Structure 1
Amino acid sequence: MDSKLDQIQLPQLNLPHFEPQLMEKEGKMWIFDSLRKKQLVLTPEEWVRQHWINFLITKLKFPKGLLALEKGLVYNKLLKRTDLVVWDKNGNPYLLIECKAPKVKLTQKTIEQACMYHKELKTPYLLISNGLQHICLSFDSVAEKFTQEKSFPEPPL
């Protein structure tokens, strides 16, 4: 009998390839999260997030200690969780990454949701990705507006 690991069809993403640690347990697929150092249920969104973590650390050389996952924040009295936040060396939020499943189209509504999280963290950069398409925005805090960027921000100093 084939295992779930043999049957699973993980989409090829528009991010550098990496070999995640996958395992099957309790009839579910799990992926090892190197930041939290634990197995997480493999969802399409988690597949995208783990690719971003790998890309930030291995290719862009972002220090691992500056990345935080699912940071809780309160917005309109509701507890929300960000997907991935990169901090600068002074402990200020630098980059907010909102991950969506590859099947989720990046629409104005998706961007507005990420902007809600941004209102709390006020990062200089905001990135929204479904793993196939990425929208990178820089935030001008004086003009209170976003500008779409053509390239990805450098690791924070």
Structure 2
Amino acid sequence: MPTAPTPPRPINLQLMRFSSQLNVKQEGNKRLVFGNIRKKWLVLQPEEFVRQLLLHFFIGDMRYNRNRITVERGVTVNSESRRTDILIFDADMRPFLLVECKAPKIPLTTDVFRQAANYNGPIKVPYLMISNGRESYVAEIDYAAKDYRFLTAVPEWL
């Protein structure tokens, strides 16, 4: 691949505005959040918090079809089992957007983008996104040219 393009300023999706929409409860010493996609209670770790906020953004703001969103879907990368944080399919059920979520305190480095790109290897989405809830980057992948370019907004759902 050619030299990585310089990323634009990160996209600020203002995800904290969705925090009041999360269904959170305390159970013993654990805080749980109800995952609307997986329809179950999940331990509210920092990365899960970001994932749930992003799901609200995709469904609420971007109008992505909730029935085309998978969470923690298994994928095999170099004969190892991995899980994608969020994988969104287009209306024809083709992989559309792969999202790698990190905890808010984790900086979005080249290594995070490389991790998402590795998970994408067998999937081949046209759009790849990384987010820590405070900052997000989205890249459009050009497989023919073996290149990518950073976008300044999240792509519209097809």
5+ unaligned residues in a row in structure 1: which ranges?
1-12
Letter of the aligned partner of 2:14 in structure 1? N
Correspondence for 1:55 among 30, 54, 57: 57
Residue 71 of structure 1 deviates from its aligned partner by 0.8
Q: 1-side partners of 2:102 and 2:77: how far apart?
A: 19
Residue 16 of structure 1 deviates from its aligned partner by 5.3
Correspondence for 1:137 among 136, 139, 143: 139
Q: 2-side partners of 1:88 and 1:144: how far apart?
A: 22
Q: Following superposition of structure 1 onto structure 2, how do residues 96-135 of structure 1 map, counting pairs within 5 Å?
A: 96-135=98-137
The answer (yes or no) to whether the contact 1:57–1:63 under 8 Å persists in 2 is yes
Correspondence for 1:89 among 68, 88, 91: 91
Residue 36 of structure 1 deviates from its aligned partner by 1.0
1:48 is paired with a residue whose SS is helix
Q: Using the aligned pairs only, state the percent identity.
A: 36
Tell me the TM-score normalised to structure 1 length: 0.88
5+ unaligned residues in a row in structure 2: which ranges?
1-12
Structure 1 position 44 matched with structure 2 position 46: yes
Letter of the aligned partner of 1:142 in structure 2? A
The answer (yes or no) to whether the contact 1:93–1:121 under 8 Å persists in 2 is yes
1:83 is paired with a residue whose SS is strand
Residue in structure 1 matched with residue 6 of structure 2 by the alignment: none
RMSD over equivalenced CA pairs, Å: 1.1
Residue in structure 1 matched with residue 4 of structure 2 by the alignment: none
Letter of the aligned partner of 2:144 in structure 1? V
Q: 2-side partners of 1:144 and 1:120: how far apart?
A: 15
Task: List structure 1 runs of 4+ shifted beyond 2 angstroms.
Answer: none
Q: 2-side partners of 1:15 and 1:31: how far apart?
A: 16
Tell me the TM-score normalised to structure 2 length: 0.88
What number of residue pairs does the alignment pair up? 144
Which has the larger Rg? 1
